[in-house]
Amino acid sequence: MVYECRRRSILQLFEEKPRLNVCAPMVRYSKGAFREVLRDYNVDIAYTPMMLADVFSSSEFARQDYTTNDADCPVVVQFAAHDPADLADAARLVAPYADGIDLNCGCPQRWAYKECIGAYLSERPEAVQDMVRAVKSAVSTPCSVKIRKHPTDASKTVELVRRAEKMGVDWITIHGRTRHQKSTEDVDFEAIRLVKESVSVPVLANGGIFSLRDAEEMYDRTGVDGVMSARGLLQNPALFAGFEHTPLACVEKYVNAALAYGTPTSIMHHHVMYMTESIMSSVERRSFNCLSSAPAIVDHLGRKYGVQCTL
């Protein structure tokens, strides 16, 4: 972990800016190079990919997967945990290198549910309360939780967020779908609005944000304090800056940042595929998908689009 002594208070951001733009935690994707580029396109806060608290606290090798620097601010480190002690240990280790610590209560994957982490916790308010208490007792770094709406009972969601608030959570993010719903299904604006009206801490809304129009609708219908995007930012990292499609300058910035950070070629390749989806023909996409080295990717982008990258 690398960190230079600079902090920008997320809590101060909530006070200064009524509507925050946030990059969601994304496994493999919301890493250093991508987060750095997002800062140039009106993203206020960026989350790391979800990390397992018990593994992070016990393995130096695992901790090396998280890096940050002076340009990566504010950054929220997200953990998945089922044991308050593991979460507290991980929080102590990462606190000097982060601007916020988030507990994942929303990961819908089956393996996570079986491990009693992620969305499993969204249905267990007592466990979330214990987790938040453990983090707040261990560190002074702001703490948040990211949840999903309860599958059947809105009052359970309200109970969850109120318990978290009681333990001192600093903000809450709610995804407006249950763990069983597909990402193509509509977001439940009413569930998000209910959470916003049930607590006094700031609330971020996640789900269905692919454009500024989507963000505006979310604000109008829920009154939240910020919006969080995942797939929308993968496809267009400049969406919060008002671009309808990823500008080539953004592609260029990302590839150069990825090369500088030593991002694995497969991850860089996936990012570029997402970013250029709207401009590549199906024939070109098939050809680009076969590229397996950084020089090949750089050469293709230079020849086809004039993108200038330094290997």
The catalytic site residues sit at 107
Cis peptide before 84 (omega within 30 of 0): no
d(CA 307, CA 311): 13
CB 56 within 8 A of CB 86: no
- Helix, strand, coil percentages, rounded to 5, for the chain: 50, 15, 40
CB burial of 274-294 (b: ≥16 within 10 Å; e: otherwise) equals bbbeeebeeeeeeebeebeeb
Give the number of other CB atoms < 10 A from CB of residue 306: 9
The residues, any chain, with a CB within 8 Å of residue 177's CB and separated by 6 or more, are: 148, 149, 183, 185, 187, 188, 207
d(CA 81, CA 34): 25
